[in-house]
């Protein structure tokens, strides 16, 4: 009788603790070439040259004195643990952004950048 209760208890614990773990990463991330930014000279570089270096912008924002070309990338990393009665997950997304301000003459006046995507990390979900 004691053995039966012990086996039943062990079976319940094994079933309760059974599950799976998952590690994932966003597959649409393409990093920017940070060295290409050294080729951008405010007051000289044109919008056409920007698109040759970085491709089509993610977004074009209309401004009163020109446009802003926004280039955005994100990297997502996820870790998950699924148990029979409990699910734990951690999801981290970081972004890279470059914004070029282009005047009415299609010349870059200034730009800004932020490169944080490589800081995305896998982590324990608790």
Delimit the domains of the chain by residue range: 21-119
Each residue of 30-79: pLDDT tens digit?
788 888 999 999 999 999 999 999 999 999 999 999 999 999 988 888 88
Write out pLDDT tens, residues 96-106.
999 999 999 99
CA distances from 51 to 19, 40, 106, 115 (A): 48, 11, 12, 19
Which of 8-12, 67-71, 83-87 tops mean pLDDT? 67-71
pLDDT at 118 over 90: no
Residue 98: per-residue pLDDT: 96
Which residues fall within 8 angstroms of residue 68, CB to CB, at 6 or more apart? 60, 61, 99, 100, 101, 102
Q: CA distances (Å), 68 to each of 46, 78, 101, in order?
A: 13, 32, 4
């Amino acid at each position: 009788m004691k053995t039966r209760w012990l086996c039943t208890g062990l079976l319940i614990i094994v079933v309760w603790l059974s599950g799976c773990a998952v590690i994932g990463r966003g597959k649409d991330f393409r990093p920017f070439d940070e060295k290409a930014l050294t080729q951008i000279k405010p007051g000289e570089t044109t919008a056409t040259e920007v698109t040759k270096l970085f491709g089509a912008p993610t977004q074009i924002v209309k401004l009163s004195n020109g446009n802003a070309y926004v280039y955005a990338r994100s990297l997502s990393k996820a870790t998950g643990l699924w148990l029979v009665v409990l699910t734990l997950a951690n999801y981290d997304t970081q972004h890279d952004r470059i914004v070029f301000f282009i005047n009415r003459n299609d010349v870059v006046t200034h730009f800004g950048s932020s490169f944080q995507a490589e800081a995305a990390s896998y982590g324990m979900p608790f």
